[in-house]
Chain A
Amino acid sequence: MMSARGQEAGSPTPGEGGGERALFSALLEDSAEDLYENAPCGYLSTLLDGQIAKINNTLLGWLGYTRDELVGLRTFSDLLTVGGRLYHETHFAPLLMMQGEVGGVALELRTAAGERLPVLVTSTIKYGADRQPQLIRTTIFDASDRRAYEQELLRARQEADRERDRLQRLVATLQHSLLPSSLPEVDGLQSAAYYHIASRDEVGGDFYDLFPLSRERWGFFLGDVCGKGAAAAAVTSLIRYTLRAAAVYDPDPVTVLETLNTVMQHEYRGDDPRYCTAIFGILTRDGDGFTIDLAGGGHPPCLLLRADGTADFQHTPNGMLIGMLSPAVFTATTIRLAPGDTLLLYTDGLIEARTTGALNAEVDDDRYGDEALHAFARALAPTTAQQAVAALADLLRGFGAGLDDDTALLALHVPVTERPAERGAP
């Protein structure tokens, strides 16, 4: 490695190290001009209107043009594909003029042979001493490999977007299939329902229904399956047909819930237990109103909003979570829905919603809660099924991000019928 040249150069520290340094400098006899011409990237200088003033050998080689074919004759945008030219004019050039530089923009050059060359382009404006823009300096990197990779990413993203759309359509369809498309018309009864879907990507676990049992009798229910997604949807489906079938067999609410409990125990034994909470009721026509027999299993109590403006929870005490134990205990209660009264059923998404809108697990006292709901109901009464559901739907919307669970609402109301003859009687 020792060289005479190193000695002759009069290196201040002769020896092996000095010789290496000398070789190093010799190798570095890389003139600025040579670096410019043969750099591993393209260099291009243009006037402010884009006219090519200077271009290096590397870029000429990539493009297959001679210097004389370009300098003073063509503009930078002439070197681009037509689409790239549109992009250059609408994005690149204005940005460059506004910011003085634009970096890392993907464009395609058109070579003399007509082939496309994907490149990454960075431009800066060179300013004179008077801060007046003088020319545009551009570096161009060959991005063929990188572009192929990016296109893969883009394709994967588009694929993911399509899959997500498909999933959301599937979820929406499944969700619809688990809920009644419309509530049946019951003479002398007004009903309304609302379903807030927390996620477009997962089927919710809340359910409700209202269905006829005979000319004078209807069944209804509302509940919540623990969990969500496809597994919860299967449970919801089982619950819905079990409740409907059980009510036809024996329209006693406690018996209906016991049947559901048995079916769920049977169906989901072992390491995949499934539970739900529910209120089940039978409506029986009773003069100008309805008698309602109710049973509940682990579900928040429904609210009765009366014609006289009062409102109270209707408890079905000690009702157990359905599907957990066998035998399970459910208790019944009977109420009367008189003209002007409204019965409101809801799932816990409503009372568990966070009123501060923040999903902050540290704070637990910002849940909407029973008391606030009671006060809301008192302020609302007397009301109708539509009004109650509309008011609560507004309330739910007001929670914004604080409402992170599915929420179902079902309201039943007996309209006040105008009977002037009776009313006029003393």
Chain B
Amino acid sequence: MVVSGRPDGPTVMLAHGFGCDQNMWRLVAPKLARDFRVVCFDHVGAGRSDLAAYSPDRYADLQAYADDVLEICRELDLSQVVFVGHSVAAMMGVLAAVQEPERFAKLVLLVPSPCYIDDEGYRGGFSRADIEELLESLDSNYLGWSAAMAPVIMGNADRPELGEELTNSFCRTDPLIARSFARATFLSDHRAELAKVGVPTLVLDCAQDVIAPPEVGAFVHAQIAGSRLITLAATGHCPQLSAPEATVRAIAAFAAEPGDHSAEPR
């Protein structure tokens, strides 16, 4: 967990999605740090988190990840948090905000998807077979992860230089954890929770994104009463890397608004 930026500023918490780790925010966090107190962290099982804390049973669905978000809030005694969740972490924010709304001032859902798999009357973009194919890709790509290196890289937050020189180290994950996180992510369905969100919410999606296509962004926007939708002129599923300026502008402007006026009539 890394806390940076203005200690007296409003708190912006950045949660990474499935794939890499908090490095995903490297182009965004320093800019937000000028005006905000920025909290970055790695989900348990990702990046430099303590792998011993991971258990496939506990982290079988997104609820455990949402519980961790709330635990961080309690540990740092945070309230009025502006939670920014990328991809699957957006839904972790939704679950956390439904559970303890008093912790959160606002939610920013960056390319969210409440359900990746197509359903009757809903287009998530994928079939179950597609997800199985992804698991195959994970199995054949350990991205430089090896059992021998894992103890060196993981749990050495005090010596970050240890893993840096290795290629692909940002997305290094224990293959079994990656598999289990992929399942928790892509088999999740939290469409029903969206309507329960009571905090002001900004939905950010990209003009072209194969993982969260435009209709999914529109669906999330429609389900969360009073939410706002901004479509970034970006391609791909990681606008914080491909269009960092536009992403920062959107997050900062929304986070800086006085809380009471952010819910606008649609």
Interface residues of B in 8-60 (CB under 8 A from A): 17-20, 23-24, 26
20 contacting pairs across A/B (C-beta < 8 A): A49-B208, A49-B236, A83-B131, A83-B133, A85-B210, A86-B137, A86-B186, A86-B211, A89-B19, A89-B211, A90-B211, A93-B236, A93-B241, A95-B171, A99-B167, A101-B167, A103-B167, A103-B168, A108-B137, A150-B140
Q: Pick the residue among A85, A94, A103, A105 that contacts B241 (CB under 8 A).
A: A94
Closest B residue to A93 by beta carbon equals B236
| Contact A98 B19, beta carbon cutoff 8 Å | no
Q: Does A355 contact B (CB under 8 A)?
A: no
State how many angstroms separate the Cβ of A210 from the closest Cβ of chain B: 35
Interface residues of B in 110-135 (CB under 8 A from A): 126-127, 130-135
| Contact A83 B136, beta carbon cutoff 8 Å | yes
Instruction: Bits for B134-159, please: 1 = Cβ < 8 Å to A, else 0.
Output: 11111111010000000000000000
Inter-chain contacts of A77 with B (CB < 8 A): 210
- With A48-B242, A83-B131, A94-B241 as contacts: A105 and B136 at CB distance below 8 Å: no
Q: Please report the total number of A residues contacting B with Cβ < 8 Å.
A: 32
| Contact B137 A98, beta carbon cutoff 8 Å | no
| Contact A105 B141, beta carbon cutoff 8 Å | yes
Inter-chain contacts of A107 with B (CB < 8 A): 137
Inter-chain contacts of A94 with B (CB < 8 A): 19-20, 24, 170-171, 238, 241
Interface residues of A in 80-139 (CB under 8 A from B): 81-87, 89-91, 93-95, 97-99, 101-103, 105-108
| Contact B137 A154, beta carbon cutoff 8 Å | no
Interface residues of A in 193-209 (CB under 8 A from B): none
Q: Does A336 contact B (CB under 8 A)?
A: no
CA distance A94 to B167 in the complex (A): 13
8 closest Cβ pairs, A-B complex? A83-B133, A90-B19, A49-B235, A87-B137, A83-B134, A82-B130, A106-B140, A97-B241
Q: Does B106 contact A (CB under 8 A)?
A: no
CA distance A81 to B107 in the complex (A): 33
Interface positions of A (Cβ within 8 A of B): 48-50, 75, 77, 81-87, 89-91, 93-95, 97-99, 101-103, 105-108, 147, 150-151, 154
Inter-chain contacts of A50 with B (CB < 8 A): 235-236
Q: Pick the residue among B23, B130, B135 that contacts A98 (CB under 8 A).
A: B23
Q: Does B228 contact A (CB under 8 A)?
A: no
Instruction: Bits for B74-116, please: 1 = Cβ < 8 Å to A, else 0.
Output: 0000000000000100000000000000000000000000000
| Contact A95 B168, beta carbon cutoff 8 Å | yes
Q: Does B237 contact A (CB under 8 A)?
A: yes
| Contact B133 A105, beta carbon cutoff 8 Å | no
State how many angstroms separate the Cβ of A109 from the closest Cβ of chain B: 12
| Contact B138 A87, beta carbon cutoff 8 Å | yes
State how many angstroms separate the Cβ of B28 from the closest Cβ of chain A: 12
